[in-house]
Amino acid sequence: MGAELVGVEKQHSVAFDVNSLRRDFPALDQKVSGRPLVYFDNAASAQTPLCVLEAMERFYREDRSNVHRGVHTLSQRATAAYEAVRPKIQRFLGAEREQEIVFTRGTTDAINLVAATYGRKNLGPGDEVLITTMEHHSNIVPWQMVCKERGAKLVVAPINDAGELEMDRFRELCGERTKIVALAHVSNALGTVNPVEEITRIAHDAGAVVLLDGAQAAAHLEVDVSEIGCDFYAFSGHKVFGPTGVGALYGRYALLEAMPPYQGGGDMIRRVTFEETTYADPPMRFEAGTPNIAAVIGLGAALDYLRGIGVAAAAAYEAELLSYGTQRLRDIEGLRLIGTAREKVSVLSFVMEGAHAHDIGTILDDQGIAVRAGHHCTQPLMDRFGVPATARASLAFYNTRQEIDRLVEGLEMVRSLFG
Ligand code: PMP
């Protein structure tokens, strides 16, 4: 085993030097429970490279002031640094115009924005919003809320036992009543990559708009919204190695232009009188109030960092790691993988005979291994698989085969205690 590991790490050493990349992430270099930390909770939140921390500190040390408001030098510098991130996100997502990028607090905020504006305006009695069984609660609850308010219906497309969308059923369910199709690009609990181009074509043929929840995709796949053809795309900064509390929404400009504001306040107006207010054009119309300026700047640095590594190179490395992890976990007696889609990234979700997911999480933590245990904000999906919870190891490009071996060792310990 040892020799093989060295060989594989070597294969990547020219194109993808994981050991040197790890040094960019100070949090990875620590001991937990007396052992070197193995961080396998990247789907919940990835770690932050030094360049992101430095970009945010630079803002606070040198340019700290408000954006869009001041004629003074600090405010101009802050505004320039902040607005420079919009075209970075435009490029990252393959959007046509930077005005199609709205800064948000994250994916949840972005989906709520679309539900509360586009949804509220365009849904009526008898209309349908089509989602899937594998959605995160943040791509269920906002639609449920707006459907209830507008007398519309939430329709759910089923998945098969491998955790793949049943495309025949999806085609049948996507009809003339469907006004919005909202689904995960990648499932956080299964790792399934959905065929989003095909889904977008089907939805557009039915006259529906498509929102993709890209929270789990953005760090693991090259995203191109122009190629996919989707109408909205949401992602979070903290899952792409940026700070928490920030993210972005891509929206096709013609749609954003026709949407009412999300929240009212400063920065989103053209002119205010007590009788009447007119609103700014997108994206400012959807960005009321002082934003999380440092976090936006940090997100820009994270996207630069990712571009430097190359999302495609990181994805290729991760794919090999996922395949290795899948093989090794399959060999553990009594372990059942939840989510075995053919198209899959990053996630190893599983249950073990006799052990609750939380016990697995606690025993692994005792060995310095961080995994997620729970329903992963996908309770309907857990119901579909007939389990209350799973343990989930989720990978990033800084993880290694040796760390997977540590996980397997830890799971053998769980088996010896509970098996
Ligand atoms: N959708 C998916 C698929 C996710 O994994 C997450 C985060 N777990 C979210 C939405 C919500 O993201 P955030 O909490 O950053 O708003």
The candidate with the shortest Cα–Cα distance to 359, out of 342, 343, 374, is: 374
Confidence check: pLDDT of 347 > 90 = yes
Q: What is the pLDDT of residue 69?
A: 80
What single letter denotes the amino acid at residue 172?
E
How much is the average pLDDT of 335-348?
98
Helices (H), 48-207: 50-58, 73-83, 85-93, 107-114, 120-122, 141-150, 167-173, 196-205
Q: Are residues 61 and 31 in the same domain?
A: no
Q: What is the pLDDT of residue 16?
A: 83
Confidence check: pLDDT of 154 > 50 = yes
Confidence check: pLDDT of 104 > 80 = yes
How much is the average pLDDT of 42-60?
98
In angstroms, the CA 301 to CA 49 distance is 9
Residue 376's domain comprises 2-49+311-418
Confidence check: pLDDT of 411 > 80 = yes
* Residue 162, Cβ density class (10 Å: 0-12 exposed, 13-18 middle, ≥19 buried): middle
Confidence check: pLDDT of 56 > 80 = yes
In angstroms, the CA 208 to CA 8 distance is 46
Tell me the CA–centroid distance for residue 142 and ligand 1, in Å.
13
pLDDT band for position 70 (cuts 50, 70, 90): confident
- Which residue has its alpha carbon closest to ligand 1 atom 8? 44
In angstroms, the CA 97 to CA 314 distance is 26
Q: Are residues 70 and 161 in the same domain?
A: yes
Pocket test for ligand 1, best of 108, 133, 190, 392 (most atoms within 8 A of CB): 108
Q: Are residues 219 and 131 in the same domain?
A: yes
CATH of the domain at 393: 3.90.1150.10
Q: Are residues 224 and 339 in the same domain?
A: no
Q: Are residues 296 and 368 in the same domain?
A: no
Alpha carbon distances (Å) from 292 to 56, 297, 345 = 11, 9, 30
pLDDT tens sequence across 2-33: 333 333 444 444 468 999 999 999 999 999 99
CATH of the domain at 153: 3.40.640.10
Number of domains in the chain: 2
The answer, yes or no, to whether any atom of ligand 1 lies below 6 A from the CB of 104, is no
The answer, yes or no, to whether any atom of ligand 1 lies below 6 A from the CB of 213, is yes
Confidence check: pLDDT of 263 > 50 = yes
Q: Are residues 287 and 155 in the same domain?
A: yes
Q: Are residues 285 and 385 in the same domain?
A: no
The answer to whether 393 and 40 have CB atoms below 8 angstroms apart is yes
Domain end call among 262, 290, 307 = 307
Q: What is the pLDDT of residue 400?
A: 98
Q: Are residues 202 and 157 in the same domain?
A: yes
> Which are the contacts of 148, defined by CB distance < 8 A and separation ≥ 6?
none
Confidence check: pLDDT of 297 > 70 = yes
Q: Are residues 412 and 298 in the same domain?
A: no
The answer to whether 247 and 107 have CB atoms below 8 angstroms apart is yes
Q: What is the pLDDT of residue 209?
A: 99
- What average pLDDT does the chain have? 95
51 as an active site residue: the answer is no
The candidate with the shortest Cα–Cα distance to 86, out of 347, 296, 243, 308, is: 296
The answer, yes or no, to whether any atom of ligand 1 lies below 6 A from the CB of 401, is no
The answer, yes or no, to whether any atom of ligand 1 lies below 6 A from the CB of 216, is yes
The answer, yes or no, to whether any atom of ligand 1 lies below 6 A from the CB of 107, is yes
Q: What is the pLDDT of residue 171?
A: 98
How much is the average pLDDT of 110-120?
98
The candidate with the shortest Cα–Cα distance to 160, out of 194, 211, 116, is: 194
Q: What is the pLDDT of residue 15?
A: 67
Tell me the CA–centroid distance for residue 108 and ligand 1, in Å.
6
Q: Are residues 60 and 148 in the same domain?
A: yes
Domain end call among 276, 307, 338 = 307
Tell me the CA–centroid distance for residue 107 and ligand 1, in Å.
6
| Residue 1: how many other CB atoms lie within 10 Å | 8
Q: Are residues 240 and 326 in the same domain?
A: no
Confidence check: pLDDT of 277 > 90 = yes
Q: What is the pLDDT of residue 212?
A: 99
pTM here?
0.96
Structural Rg of the chain based on CA atoms: 22
In angstroms, the CA 88 to CA 312 distance is 17
Structure tokens at 262: 């999300």
Q: Are residues 156 and 282 in the same domain?
A: yes
The answer, yes or no, to whether any atom of ligand 1 lies below 6 A from the CB of 108, is yes
Pocket test for ligand 1, best of 103, 133, 140, 188 (most atoms within 8 A of CB): 188
Q: What is the pLDDT of residue 3?
A: 34
Domain end call among 307, 338, 359 = 307
